[in-house]
């Protein structure tokens, strides 16, 4: 009988960590293989997400490499019988005297009655010209596929870098504040670690991942909109003069007032520029507001 794997058999798992896992409710290797890395790191104190992923992978490997129960060996005699080819019994040869007697006796042949064949009405065969006309089918007109021109904004950007940035974003870890998994009063949003003796600031093993420049996207794609337009913040209508509608897209600043916003929107429409946050294009005047209120009173 094969021994079931235990938590202490896993590589890189000491007795202290084993006690912490048992306190968290994970007592067997099967429970550890089914756990999720994020939740396990939150439950167990001092366990990072990467370490939890490594432990879960090791547990899954041990379960897969568990030896299957040995099949009962069949007896040798039965195997020998199965492998031995079966000999067919030789057909018994009849004596020569009986064969000669059978040859001399004439066989009676049943007289086959001739059935009169019914006359099949012959259909007139179509002529060769008519057959050729029937074979010729009308040709289908070949529809030409319209070639869509690639916009200029896609040509200017290396699409390989865009694909790399998307793949890196999927693998990026979730940054959250230190001790947010311990205390409910601490929100999970990222805060910069400022402690002198903080192990996370010193980037000790098993601690949280810190926001750093290594996680940034390539500089060519950094200020690009998902539609491949270059975002340009605009504060006044004069900022639109040097912009190209095929490459640039406008984002009106939050500090711009309503009146100046309308002027910027009109200037952008004349230059065919895309505005990413247009808002309401027309504002209700004070005169229209008062007339609506008077009508309601009447």
CA–CA dist 34, 60 (Å, integer): 8
Start-to-end Cα distance in the chain: 94
Read off the pLDDT of residues 18-70 as tens digits, 9 standing for 90 and up: 888 888 888 788 877 878 888 788 878 778 888 888 888 888 888 887 654 44
Q: Which of 52, 68, 71 is nearest to 60 (CA)?
A: 52
Describe the chain by its helix, strand, coil percentages, rounded to 5: 40, 5, 55
Check residues 249 and 64 and name the one with the higher pLDDT. 249
In this predicted structure, the answer to whether residue 195 has a pLDDT above a threshold of 70 is: yes
Average confidence (pLDDT) over 91-101: 50
Choice among 64-78, 148-162, 190-204 with the minimum mean pLDDT: 64-78
In this predicted structure, the answer to whether residue 202 has a pLDDT above a threshold of 60 is: yes
pLDDT of residue 73: 42
Angle CA 65–70–76, to nearest 5 = 145
Dihedral sign from CA coordinates of 10, 13, 15, 18: negative
Q: How far is CA 285 from the centre of its chain?
A: 51
Listed by start position, the domains of the chain span 7-63, 154-216, 223-298
Instruction: Collapse the DSSP code of 262 into the 3-class scheme (helix H, G, I; strand E, B; otherwise coil) and give the result.
Output: helix
| pLDDT-based confidence at residue 134 (cuts at 50, 70, 90) | low
Average confidence (pLDDT) over 236-252: 93
CB atoms within 10 A of CB 53: 15
Tell me the DSSP string of 126-159.
PPHHHHHHHH--PPPPPPPPPPPPPPHHHHSS-H
pTM for the predicted model, two decimal places: 0.40
Task: Name the average pLDDT for the chain.
Answer: 76
- In residues, how long is the chain? 298
CA–CA dist 213, 204 (Å, integer): 18
Average confidence (pLDDT) over 225-233: 90
Check residues 156 and 4 and name the one with the higher pLDDT. 156
In this predicted structure, the answer to whether residue 247 has a pLDDT above a threshold of 70 is: yes
Check residues 173 and 103 and name the one with the higher pLDDT. 173
Q: What is the CATH number of domain 7-63?
A: 1.10.150.20
Average confidence (pLDDT) over 153-174: 88
| pLDDT-based confidence at residue 217 (cuts at 50, 70, 90) | confident
Percentage above 70 pLDDT, the chain: 65
Average confidence (pLDDT) over 207-215: 89
In this predicted structure, the answer to whether residue 265 has a pLDDT above a threshold of 80 is: yes
The most confident of the ranges 38-47, 79-88, 140-149, 282-291 is 38-47
Choice among 56-70, 119-133, 154-168, 183-197 with the minimum mean pLDDT: 119-133
Choice among 13-22, 27-36, 87-96 with the minimum mean pLDDT: 87-96
**Residue 234, strand partner residues:** 252
């Amino acid at each position: 009988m094969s021994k079931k794997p235990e938590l202490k058999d896993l590589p890189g798992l000491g007795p202290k960590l084993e006690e912490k896992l048992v306190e968290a409710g994970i007592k067997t290797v099967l429970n550890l293989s089914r756990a999720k890395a994020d939740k396990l790191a939150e439950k167990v104190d001092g366990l990072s997400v990467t370490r939890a992923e490594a432990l879960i992978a090791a547990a899954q490997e041990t379960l897969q490499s568990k030896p299957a129960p040995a099949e009962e060996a069949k007896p040798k005699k039965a195997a020998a019988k199965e492998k031995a080819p079966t000999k067919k019994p030789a057909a018994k040869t009849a004596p020569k005297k009986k064969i000669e007697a059978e040859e001399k006796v004439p066989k009676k042949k049943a007289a086959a009655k001739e059935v009169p064949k019914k006359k099949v009405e012959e259909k007139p065969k179509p002529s060769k010209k008519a057959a050729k006309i029937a074979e010729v089918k009308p040709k289908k007109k070949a529809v030409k596929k319209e070639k869509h021109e690639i916009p200029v904004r896609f040509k200017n950007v290396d699409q390989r870098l865009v694909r790399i940035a998307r793949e890196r974003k999927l693998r990026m870890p979730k940054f959250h504040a230190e001790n947010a998994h311990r205390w409910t009063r601490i929100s999970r949003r990222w805060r910069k670690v400022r402690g002198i003796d903080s192990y996370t600031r010193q980037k000790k093993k098993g601690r949280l991942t810190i926001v750093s420049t290594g996680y940034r996207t390539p500089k060519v794609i950094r200020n690009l909109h998902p539609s491949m337009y270059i975002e340009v913040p605009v504060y006044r209508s004069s900022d639109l003069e040097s912009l190209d509608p095929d490459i640039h897209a406008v984002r009106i600043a939050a500090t711009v007032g309503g009146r100046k916003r309308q002027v910027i929107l009109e200037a952008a429409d004349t230059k065919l520029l895309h505005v990413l946050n247009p808002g309401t294009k027309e504002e209700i005047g004070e005169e229209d507001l008062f007339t609506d209120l008077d009508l309601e009173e009447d």
